[in-house]
Structure 1
Amino acid sequence: MNFWDFARGPASVKVVLEFGLARGFSQDDLLARSRIAPQHLQDPNFELSALQELRVVENLLRLAGHPPGLGLQVGQGYRFSTFGLWGYGLVCSATVGEAMARALRFIPLSYAFSRVEQRIEDGLCLLQMRPPDLAPGLSRFLVERDLAAAASLVLEVGGPGLQLQRVELQGGRGRAHRPCPGLTHLGGAPVRWDGEGYCLGFDARWLPHPLPSANPISAAMCDELCAKLVERWRVREGTKALVQQVLAATPGDSRPSVGALAGLTSTSERTLRRRLQAEGTSYREVRAAALAEQARELLRDPALPITRIAERLGYADLSSFSQAFKRWQGLSPAAYRRQLAAAID
């Protein structure tokens, strides 16, 4: 299952928004370009796309200046109550192990963007996370957030006495991979910043540990309702809409190829092309439309140089970008920006 395949509730966006507001950022700036109105976040039945949540995360990263460890900080704000029915099902489980199995069975309801797998190794129960295939800084934030949120859930569900034994984040180059000075431990375990992947682990002897709020009737009810919610949130907008979301979430200089996109959308390249053709379009056309839309959005920011916009969209030089934009819009990027300014005045 892929996070693109499912809608999601507003609770996760609320956590990100509250984190940003606590640091002095405005609500309008945090929700910019997400098409999420403040009143939507007060409606538990409101459904939003993965792309809308990614927009809010991108805004937070930009406003905060992309500091290392930001995802870990945000992730610690998640509690089982954040996850509604899915979280309630965990605390109603008979044991820690049953809660883990239930969590993975209905993982689309967890707001996770990472792929999560469980395994036992050297006496530890490990949760291994594979980051989403998005822009590096965004991907790092999301896997950090998912890992920290999972850590909070494990400790909250397990109760007093359970501590993490291992917390690892993949090492690498760039600012996003630097250690966060104020975050040396998570859940009782030292944070290792130069690991081979992303994982957390606790003593596997905790798996049969009984939970104080165990309720088999409530757990069974949660299973039934979670299965219905997963089905309700399954996206049925068609291949074109799914491809549009993926392309809109990835910058031009790291936009996936058709083959990579097929993998992200859980299909083969041939099938992807055939489905797009059946919907009256092609990957090339959808990609061009995504670039045009992103270009128009970026040009609305008068402080962003057009040369920088060309770079962000993956063009080798300003001339190539200008020619492409003229094909899309019928006028140059500079003329389009002047047109926007005149409309505002």
Structure 2
Amino acid sequence: MPAPQFALPVQYIRQIVEQVKRSNVPLPASFLRIRWDALPADEFQILDMDAFVQAIQDAIDATGDSAFGLLVGERMRINSHGMLGFAAMNCATLAEAIGVIEQYFLTRTRLVKVRQQTVGPDVHFKFEDALPLGRVRQPVQEAIVLTIKNLYDHITAGSAPIPYVSWNFAPPPHAELVREKFGCEMRYGQSWCGFAFPVSALHQPLSMADPTTLRQAIQACQREMHGMSAEPAWAAKLARVLLERQDAFPSLEAAAQLFNLTPRTLHRRLLEEGTSYRDVLDEVRHKLALEHLQAGKLTIQEIAYQLGYTDTANFRRAFIRWQAISPAAYQAGVNGTLNAP
């Protein structure tokens, strides 16, 4: 089975190259083979997953620095995130900013996917592997989580400090440097990767909010979602189809027909990206459930029906799996209101 391909912003790739150069070592042969020393002017570069993993591992071996990924993440500034960062900065509330990052994270990288989960008084902002990272999982996670944590700190202006970061691997040799760069408690050997922040911070106003600029940035993110590469991820294509037809989600067979594929071929292509029709539908339902509950215009029974659940109890069980609390409790905690079940 061929390795999956994905798009990565040239801005990110340049930071990886520059970090190698800062160590005063020659660029590894793998960098030269995929011409990372002579990047095109395009905003995104299509990469083969195996070649990417090899290049990152070669960079770590060449520099002899286990903290390579962490240092790449530190180098990325807010403008490294393009329109996604710009949109997040101009949101009215943290809840809106987190929602924007969730929805449009694909415009920056398909290596991981992000989602929020409410657990007691905290929101867990989770980073989950979307492609097989293998031996470079730790440096990639450190780079991505640090750069998004820095974006979070920027848009909240220190008003909602992150109490801890969770890692699903053992402490690395540079664990003390990780703690220093993140500036909060590190928890290793956990079941999830990401950071926590208080639920109470979700609806406090953000000082840089600008609705006009936000609308323009969102439109740009939407254009990027449609045109960031010649071959967008099949999971993204399927999610878009499901969102466009959310009044009656098409089955795998119906979706495959829309793509002029057999159901078996669509299933295989999703499998190559580490996902499935069921997983993509689950993510779309999760996203829409959060939007409906935050809007507060529908009852929980109506939301369940809108999402294709014939039984409200099934929707409730799914929501508890997503967020670790019931839809009624989520709505009460986030909006201060409780719709009838």
Where in structure 1 are there 5+ consecutive unaligned residues? 240-257, 269-345
CA distance in 1, matches of 2:274, 2:165: 30
Tell me, yes or no, if structure 1 residue 48 matches structure 2 residue 45: yes
Q: Which residue of 1 aligns with 2:68?
A: 70
State the number of aligned residues.
241
Question: Hey, what does 2:311 align to over in structure 1?
Answer: none
1:232 equivalent to 2:227? Answer yes
- How many angstroms does 1:220 deviate by? 0.8
Deviation by residue 1:196-236 (Cα, 9 ceiling, x = unmatched): 22121112222212222211111111111111111112443
Letter in 2 for 1:25: V
Kindly indicate whether the alpha-carbon contact (under 8 Å) linking 1:127 and 1:201 is maintained by their aligned counterparts in 2: yes
Partners of 2:133 and 2:43 lie apart in 1 by 27
Change in CA separation of 1:90 and 1:261 when aligned onto 2, cut-off 3 Å: closer
Distance 1:151 1:223 in 2: 21
* Partner in structure 2 of residue 195 of structure 1: 190
Deviation at 1:122, TM superposition (A): 2.1
Which structure has the greater CA radius of gyration? 1
Once the two structures are TM-superposed, the CA of residue 11 in structure 1 deviates from its matched residue by 0.6
- 2: distance between equivalents of 1:238 and 1:121? 31
Structure 1 residue matching 2:186: 3-state secondary structure: strand
Match of residue 19 from structure 2: 19
What SS class does the counterpart of residue 183 from structure 1 fall into? helix
Find the aligned partners of 1:260 and 1:140 in 2 and give their Cα distance: 26
Unaligned runs of 5+ in 2: 235-266, 278-341
Contact 1:31-1:55 within 8 A present in 2 as well: no
Tell me, what secondary structure is at the counterpart of 2:92? coil
Alignment partner, residue 10 of structure 2: 10
Q: Check if 1:262 corresponds to 2:260.
A: no
Alignment-mate amino acid for residue 200 of structure 1: F
User: Post-superposition shift, 1:76?
Assistant: 2.1
Q: Mapping of 1:147-162 within 5 angstroms?
A: 147-162=145-160
Deviations 1:107-153 (A, max 9, x none): 11223512211111121121112235535321222122211112111
TM-score (norm 2): 0.61
SS of alignment partner, residue 182 of structure 1: helix
Counterpart CA distance in 2 for 1:230 and 1:17 is: 26
Q: Deviations over 1:141-189 (max 9, x none)?
A: 21222111121111111113332112111135xxx85552433345431
Displaced runs of 4 or more, over 6 A: 258-261
Partner of 2:326: none
Matched-pair contact (CA < 8 Å) for 2:86–2:217? yes
Residue 209 (1) aligns with residue 204 (2):
yes
Change (3 A) 1:14 1:73: same
Rounded Cα–Cα distance in structure 2 between residues aligned with 1:61 and 1:169: 20
Match of 2:134 among 128, 136, 149: 136
**How far apart in 1 are the matches of 2:95 and 2:159?**
16
Specify the code of the residue in structure 2 equivalent to 1:47. Answer: F
The residue aligned with 1:101 is: 99
Q: Which amino acid aligns with 1:62?
A: D
User: Of the candidates 109, 112, 115, which is equivalent to residue 111 of structure 1?
Assistant: 109
Instruction: Please tell me the root mean square deviation across aligned C-alpha atoms, in Å.
Output: 3.2
Aligned equivalents of 2:127, 2:82: Cα separation in 1: 22
Structure 2 vs 1, CA of residues 267 and 118 (structure 1 numbering), >3 Å: closer, same or farther? closer
What SS does structure 2 have at the residue aligned with 1:162? Answer: coil
Question: What is the rounded CA distance, in whole Å, between the counterparts of 2:53 and 2:81 in structure 1?
Answer: 18
1:170 corresponds to: 168
Structure-2 change in CA distance of 1:138 and 1:235 (3 Å): farther
Task: After superposition, give the CA deviation of every residue in 1:22-72 in whole Å (9 maximum; x if it has no partner).
Answer: 2213357573222334352xx3x34311436555423322312362x4323
**8 Å contact 2:112–2:131 — kept in the other structure?**
no
The alignment's TM-score, normalised by the length of structure 1, stands at: 0.61
1:92 counterpart = 2:101: no
Q: For each residue in 1:296-343, what CA deviation from the matched residue of structure 2 results, as whole angstroms up to 9, or x when unmatched? A: xxxxxxxxxxxxxxxxxxxxxxxxxxxxxxxxxxxxxxxxxxxxxxxx
Corresponding residue SS for 1:105 = helix
